[in-house]
Structure 1
Amino acid sequence: MSTPSAVPPRRRTGRVWGTLAAIVVALAALLVVADVVVRGIAEDRFGEQVRASLPDGIDGEVDVEIGGFSVIAQYLSGTMDRVELTAPELSVNGTPVAVDVIGEGVPVDLASPVRSVVGTVTVDEESLNRLVSVPGVTGAFTLGDGLVGYAGTIEVLGFSLDYTATARPTAAGESVLLLPEGVELTSGAGMVDVSVVVGRLLGDDPLSICVAQYLPEGVEVHDLAISPGTATVELRAQGLMFDEASLARAGSCD
């Protein structure tokens, strides 16, 4: 009677490595599935936290997307690499605006400052005029191709003269500067030298609009894009906290 030959060592080694590889692949697949599940849970949790932190008068759905390779690893570290908040129909005191915010270095519990924040706010003419009021400007702002139109009043030689102006807006941190490019008197033109008035309006300091009062403290205007009927504002901040008290504390123009 013959005895079965033993399995060669090389074949046994191959089987061991094959088994280990299968285990590793299975574990990797489980980790991927677990990460997908945790990512969804974390995004829902962040969304709930942010919605609960919105100041009074601000309401709307906020969608959350967490970036980075492994949410589990980020969560264990206590900081998310990249979190994007999208609110295309946010209501600010009843006025609709579209908001998109990207935070980098976002603490899991939102109890610590976010390393850096870049946000964009998009408004139409109607929303802009409902949200922003400027002393000395009468009527409504109009939004054109890179320009803003507005009406105002100027005092010259004891006369109050009404005018309309087109201006190019420039971001200035806590403020937005309107640099006049064209001016037309709409009343009182026969009382004074029109060229003197126009020269004064075009040559004076730009009209400064304080926007810090509408934003959380520490948030500044970095860029502006104006197109017919729409304004898009890019905002930036470092060390901003996403808790309710911080978001409700508005800045000021010193």
Structure 2
Amino acid sequence: MTTGDTQPTTPLPPWTYSETPPKRRRRVWPWILALVIVLGLAVAAWFAGELIARDIVTKTIREQVITQLSLPADQDIDVVVEGTVLPQLIVGTLEDVTVSSDDVKLGALVGDVTVHAQDIAIRGEGTAGAASATVVLDPQQLRTLLSTIEDFPADSVDLAEPNVTMATELRLFGVELPVGVALTPTAVDGDIVLTPAALQVAGNEVTADALRDQFGGFADAVLRDWTICIAEYVPAGVELSDIKVTGDQVVADLAIDGAIVSDTSLQELGVCE
């Protein structure tokens, strides 16, 4: 019987230890961090450039408005450029611009003005697409404008939607009778025309025929249309298109020729014929 001590021993195969270090993973996060930083700087630069561009554009527009309309240097003018400015400058067109100011004085025409224009080319022979303006006058500003009309009783003017009202007098046999006239404003060939719509004599409503029968040719002084030319107060490229009384204000809409952006003749004041 063979015991464990006498059992043959089989030699172990030769064995050597070899340690292979694990592959090191490349650290990606520093590159991501660098990319984030670069993008952040690019965005910051974009916004900084956008703010600078917007500031330059709004200041330029304000200065041009003051120059073209001969407004005071300290006139408060609000300029709103819709959208992002930098791409619009690159393309060469401002898509949507609104310019507004209160108490704008254009000779005898004084009011709150808002101008809205779209697709304004800023290079070459520039033009604008749709462009319009609105002028809002309160009763006192309307009186100032109407005071330029000879024999018009501007001091008596007031507003009663949809009409402008005035008070005057007619003399009959040495007696002066108070006459009230309601006038409807309309835009005719760029002028404001006030047409009698209702009449009162001594507080009683009368017709135009009755007034003419009673006063004869003297009635023509109150039955006439009154025409107010505003062309001499606005650029030649701007024309009155509509006017109405809304509440306690007169609202005048004006059409603007898009070529006014580059055509200096349209930037000059118009002429009353």
Structure 1 residues 14-163: aligned runs within 5 Å: 23-24=38-39, 26-55=41-70, 60-68=75-83, 70-93=84-107, 96-108=110-122, 112-132=126-146, 133-135=148-150, 137-140=152-155, 141-151=157-167, 163=179
- Larger-gyration structure (1/2): 2
Aligned equivalent of 1:248: 268
Give the one of 228, 231, 244 matched to 2:250: 231
Take 1:35 and 1:114, find their aligned partners in 2: how far apart are those partners?
Answer: 23
Take 1:110 and 1:250, find their aligned partners in 2: how far apart are those partners?
Answer: 25
The residue identity in structure 1 corresponding to 2:267 is L
Take 1:144 and 1:179, find their aligned partners in 2: how far apart are those partners?
Answer: 14
Q: Flag the 1:57–1:46 CA change in 2: closer, same or farther, 3 A.
A: closer
Give the one of 11, 14, 20 matched to 1:2: 20
Q: Flag the 1:176–1:94 CA change in 2: closer, same or farther, 3 A.
A: closer
Q: Which runs of 5+ in 1 are unaligned?
A: 155-160
Q: Flag the 1:61–1:179 CA change in 2: closer, same or farther, 3 A.
A: same
Take 2:123 and 2:169, find their aligned partners in 1: how far apart are those partners?
Answer: 50
Q: Secondary structure at the match of 1:36?
A: helix
**Greater alpha carbon shift after TM alignment, 19-28 vs 72-81:** 19-28
Alpha-carbon contact 2:181-2:197 (below 8 Å) kept: yes
Q: Which runs of 5+ in 2 are unaligned?
A: 1-18, 171-176
Take 1:96 and 1:209, find their aligned partners in 2: how far apart are those partners?
Answer: 14
Give the one of 213, 230, 250 matched to 1:211: 230
The residue identity in structure 2 corresponding to 1:50 is V
Q: Alignment length, in residue pairs?
A: 240
Take 1:180 and 1:36, find their aligned partners in 2: how far apart are those partners?
Answer: 53
The residue identity in structure 2 corresponding to 1:174 is G
Alpha-carbon contact 1:83-1:102 (below 8 Å) kept: yes
CA distances 1:2-42 after superposition (whole Å, capped 9, x unpaired) = 3332549xx97x99788767755653443233212211222
CA distances 1:173-225 after superposition (whole Å, capped 9, x unpaired) = 50223342211347xx9xx9536469x97xx8854433333322132223334
More strand by share: 1
Alpha-carbon contact 2:103-2:112 (below 8 Å) kept: yes
Q: Flag the 1:233–1:93 CA change in 2: closer, same or farther, 3 A.
A: same
CA RMSD after TM alignment: 4.3
CA distances 1:63-97 after superposition (whole Å, capped 9, x unpaired) = 222112x2112112222112221211323348752
Q: Flag the 1:58–1:249 CA change in 2: closer, same or farther, 3 A.
A: farther
Larger RCO (alpha carbons 8 Å, 6+ apart): 1
Take 2:141 and 2:60, find their aligned partners in 1: how far apart are those partners?
Answer: 30
Q: Flag the 1:163–1:113 CA change in 2: closer, same or farther, 3 A.
A: farther
Q: Secondary structure at the match of 2:258?
A: strand
Alpha-carbon contact 2:165-2:180 (below 8 Å) kept: yes
The residue identity in structure 1 corresponding to 2:231 is A
1:194 and 2:208 aligned: no
The residue identity in structure 2 corresponding to 1:106 is I
Give the one of 175, 180, 183 matched to 2:196: 180
Which structure 1 residue ranges, 4+ long, deviate > 6 Å from structure 2? 14-19, 56-59
TM-score normalized by the length of structure 1: 0.71
